[in-house]
């Protein structure tokens, strides 16, 4: 059975949601990112890069990098959450996944904290907002006439974007001037699979040290 290593509310929320949407059996293991342990074992032995998500596949191979795990899960299921390889839609999906990973995910992370952690001071939050707002605005424009990122249908891109809209809330940023992203966030929260996963993960750790 596949096993997802996650921390509540972290980027691992994206593959967790996709696993639940896909409906294949899977297990989860909660990682303590403060001391890099899981179930009393050293997490660095699972993922030497020392961050979540990591997915142990059916063949016991561990794969990392959120966008890659999302693609792996979509390809290895009967879902229609990913387009056929080398179609225009496939490349559109790759472009958004890469955009979210490089332009949003890492820009949400504060340069002032050790490791890949969310900002936790007013100054670092302001800096993060300055960086992410124009990139979020670009997505908001794309969502003008649709509820989901690709052809107005749920795809592997949406859970990753939902991590970002969830972080907007977590960092107390506002959806002012981002009305379409706000609607996207609400659409995602209405999905039963998303509700089950948010409940299962529970509250994320506090942003204070």
Ligand X SMILES: N[C@@H](CCC(=O)N[C@@H](CS)C(=O)NCC(=O)O)C(=O)O
> Which residues contact ligand X (rule: CB under 6 A)?
10-11, 33, 50-53, 65-66, 101, 105, 115-116
Q: Report in angstroms how near the CB of residue 109 gets to ligand X at its nearest.
A: 6
Q: Report in angstroms how near the CB of residue 28 gets to ligand X at its nearest.
A: 15
Q: Please identify, using beta-carbon distances, which residue of 37 and 116 lies nearer to ligand X.
A: 116
Q: Please identify, using beta-carbon distances, which residue of 53 and 159 lies nearer to ligand X.
A: 53
Q: Report in angstroms how near the CB of residue 66 gets to ligand X at its nearest.
A: 4
Q: Please identify, using beta-carbon distances, which residue of 108 and 175 lies nearer to ligand X.
A: 108
Q: Report in angstroms how near the CB of residue 140 gets to ligand X at its nearest.
A: 22
Strand 2-6 relative to strand 26-30, pairing = parallel
Q: Report in angstroms how near the CB of residue 13 gets to ligand X at its nearest.
A: 9
Q: Please identify, using beta-carbon distances, which residue of 8 and 155 lies nearer to ligand X.
A: 8
Q: Within 10 A of 136 (CB to CB), how many other CB atoms are there?
A: 24
């Amino acid at each position: 059975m596949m096993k997802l290593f996650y921390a509540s509310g972290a980027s691992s929320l994206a593959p967790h949601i996709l696993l639940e949407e896909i409906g294949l059996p899977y297990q989860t293991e909660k990682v303590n990112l403060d001391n890099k342990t899981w179930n009393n074992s050293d997490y660095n032995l699972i993922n030497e890069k020392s961050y979540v998500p990591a997915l142990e596949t059916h063949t016991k191979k561990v794969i990392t990098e959120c966008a890659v795990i999302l693609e792996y899960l979509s390809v290895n299921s009967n879902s229609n959450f990913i387009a056929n390889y080398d179609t225009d839609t496939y490349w559109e999906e790759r472009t958004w996944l890469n955009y979210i990973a490089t332009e949003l995910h890492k820009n949400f992370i504060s340069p002032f904290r050790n490791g890949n952690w969310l900002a936790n001071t007013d100054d670092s939050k302001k800096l993060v907002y300055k960086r992410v707002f124009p990139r979020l605005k670009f997505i908001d424009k794309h969502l003008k006439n649709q509820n989901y990122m690709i052809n107005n249908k749920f795809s592997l891109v949406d859970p990753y974007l939902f991590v970002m809209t969830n972080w907007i809330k977590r960092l107390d940023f506002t959806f002012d001037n981002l009305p379409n992203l706000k609607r996207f966030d609400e659409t995602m929260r209405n999905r039963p699979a998303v509700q089950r996963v948010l409940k299962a993960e529970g509250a994320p750790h506090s942003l204070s040290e």
